[in-house]
C-alpha cells in the first residue's frame, strides 16, 4: 500500500509515520514540503504520483486563533478537505481524515453518537464540521475519525503544559466544567493503521465501502480538572514538582476567545462494531506515556 501522509509533523502525524509504516510505503509531508492550504500545490502533489490512501493529519488546530481568522481555519479544515474529497473520487484513493468533538455544543447528557446533531460553538468547530459536510456531499471515499483532546509529549498539549506548569507553580487552577475523552496521539495512530489493515486488499474499495464518520477517542470521560490531577499524580518525576495544589475553577473564570463545549464525550461504539477497534482507557495511556518518557 502506498500512503501519502499530510501534516506529518503534528502530534498525530508524527505518530502516524510509525504506525502506517507497517502497511507499506509512507510518503510524509509536513507544512514545509507541502502547504495543504495552497490548493493548487495540493492538487499537483496528488497528480504527481499514485497513492492508494491519503491520510490527512494536517489541520488548523489553533482554536482561539480561528476566532480571529476564521478564513484561515476554513481554508485548511474545509476547502483543502473538499479538494481531498474531489481528488479521492477522481483518482480513486481512499481518504482518512480527522474531525473533532468540537462539532458538538456539549449541552447533552450522554456521550455523542455519530448522527447526533452537530452545533459547533466556535469557528474551529464550524470549519471542521464544514469539512465533514463537504466530504459527505461529495460521497467521497473517506473515513472520518472524529476524535477529542488529542495529546502527546512531543508538542504543546494539555499534558505537556500541565507537566511544565507543575514544575513552575505551587497552585494550578484547572477548569472542572469541561468533560471529554483525552486521546493519546500514539493510540489514534495505531487505531488508524488497524482500520487500514482491514482494507489492505483493495484500499479504495474498502474505504469507499466503509465511508462515513466514526468516533475514535480514548476510552473514558473525565473533566480537565481530574485529568490534570491524574497527570500530576502519575508523573514518575514528581520530585521535580513545585505544585502543592490543583484547584477546580469554572470556565467562566478563564475567559478565552473560543467557547468550548462543556460535556462532549464521544460514544465510540460504531468504530468497535465496524472495525473491532477500540482505543485504550485514557488513564492507561497516560501512565504508559509518562513512564516511557
Set of cell numbers at residue 17: 509515520
Q: Is 285 in the site for ligand NAP (CB under 6 A)?
A: no
Q: Is 59 in the site for ligand NAP (CB under 6 A)?
A: yes
Stretch that binds ligand NAP, among 7-15, 193-201, 242-250, 257-265 (CB under 6 A): 7-15
Of 195, 220, 214, residue with least CA distance to 285: 220
Nearer to ligand NAP, 36 or 175 (CB): 36
Burial of 222 (0-12, 13-18, 19+ CB in 10 A): buried
Q: Is 9 in the site for ligand NAP (CB under 6 A)?
A: yes
Three-state DSSP class for 176?
Answer: coil
Instruction: Choose, by CB under 6 A, the member of 148, 159, 166, 231 that binds ligand NAP.
Output: 148
- Which amino acids are annotated catalytic? 124
Instruction: Choose, by CB under 6 A, the member of 122, 127, 147, 178 that binds ligand NAP.
Output: 147
Q: Is 35 in the site for ligand NAP (CB under 6 A)?
A: yes
DSSP 120: -
Nearer to ligand NAP, 92 or 212 (CB): 212
Instruction: Choose, by CB under 6 A, the member of 150, 216, 231, 277 that binds ligand NAP.
Output: 150
Q: How many CB atoms lie within 10 A of CB 279?
A: 23
Instruction: Choose, by CB under 6 A, the member of 19, 78, 100, 181 that binds ligand NAP.
Output: 100
Closest distance to ligand NAP from the beta carbon of 242 (Å): 26
Tell me the C-alpha distance between 18 and 212, whole Å: 25
Q: Is 178 in the site for ligand NAP (CB under 6 A)?
A: no
Q: Is 264 in the site for ligand NAP (CB under 6 A)?
A: no
For residue 146, list its beta bridge partners.
99, 215
Q: How far is CA 198 from the centre of its chain?
A: 21
> For the chain, how long is the longest CA-to-CA vector?
58
Q: Is 7 in the site for ligand NAP (CB under 6 A)?
A: yes
Instruction: Choose, by CB under 6 A, the member of 5, 26, 55, 58 that binds ligand NAP.
Output: 58
Q: Is 262 in the site for ligand NAP (CB under 6 A)?
A: no
Q: Is 120 in the site for ligand NAP (CB under 6 A)?
A: no
Tell me the C-alpha distance between 143 and 184, whole Å: 20
Of 71, 50, 48, residue with least CA distance to 60: 71
Q: Is 149 in the site for ligand NAP (CB under 6 A)?
A: yes
Say how many residues touch ligand NAP, by CB under 6 A. 27
* Residue written as grid cell 466503509: 210
* CA geometry: angle 18, 113, 107, nearest 5 deg: 110
* Residue written as grid cell 507499506: 24
Q: Which residues bind ligand NAP (CB under 6 A)?
A: 7, 9-13, 30-31, 35-37, 57-61, 76, 98, 100-101, 128, 147-150, 155, 185
Amino acid at each position: 500500500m502506498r500512503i501519502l501522509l499530510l501534516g506529518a509533523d503534528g502530534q498525530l502525524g508524527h505518530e502516524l509515520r510509525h504506525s502506517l509504516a507497517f502497511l507499506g510505503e509512507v510518503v510524509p509531508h509536513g507544512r514545509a514540503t507541502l502547504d495543504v492550504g495552497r490548493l493548487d500545490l495540493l492538487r499537483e502533489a496528488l497528480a504527481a504520483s499514485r497513492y492508494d490512501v491519503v491520510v490527512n493529519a494536517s489541520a488548523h488546530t489553533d482554536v482561539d486563533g480561528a476566532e480571529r481568522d476564521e478564513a484561515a481555519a476554513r481554508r485548511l479544515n474545509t476547502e483543502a478537505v473538499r479538494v481531498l474529497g474531489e481528488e479521492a473520487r477522481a483518482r480513486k484513493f481512499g481518504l482518512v481524515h480527522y474531525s473533532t468533538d468540537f462539532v458538538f455544543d456539549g449541552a447533552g447528557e450522554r456521550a455523542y453518537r455519530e448522527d447526533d446533531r452537530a452545533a459547533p460553538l466556535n469557528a474551529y468547530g464550524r470549519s471542521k464540521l464544514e469539512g465533514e459536510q463537504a466530504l459527505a456531499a461529495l460521497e467521497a471515499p473517506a473515513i472520518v475519525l472524529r476524535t477529542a483532546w488529542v495529546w502527546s509529549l512531543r508538542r504543546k498539549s494539555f499534558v505537556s503544559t500541565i507537566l511544565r506548569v507543575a514544575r513552575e507553580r505551587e497552585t494550578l487552577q484547572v477548569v472542572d466544567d469541561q468533560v471529554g475523552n483525552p486521546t493519546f496521539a500514539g493510540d489514534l495512530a495505531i487505531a488508524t493503521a488497524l482500520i487500514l489493515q482491514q482494507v489492505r486488499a483493495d484500499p479504495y474499495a474498502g474505504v469507499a465501502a466503509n465511508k462515513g464518520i466514526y468516533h475514535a477517542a480514548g476510552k473514558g470521560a473525565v473533566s480537565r480538572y481530574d485529568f490534570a490531577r491524574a497527570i500530576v499524580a502519575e508523573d514518575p518525576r514528581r520530585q521535580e514538582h513545585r505544585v502543592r495544589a490543583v484547584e477546580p475553577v469554572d470556565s467562566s473564570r478563564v475567559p478565552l476567545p473560543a467557547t468550548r463545549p462543556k460535556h462532549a464525550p464521544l460514544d465510540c461504539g460504531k468504530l468497535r462494531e465496524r472495525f473491532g477497534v477500540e482505543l485504550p482507557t485514557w488513564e492507561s495511556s497516560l501512565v504508559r506515556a509518562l513512564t516511557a518518557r
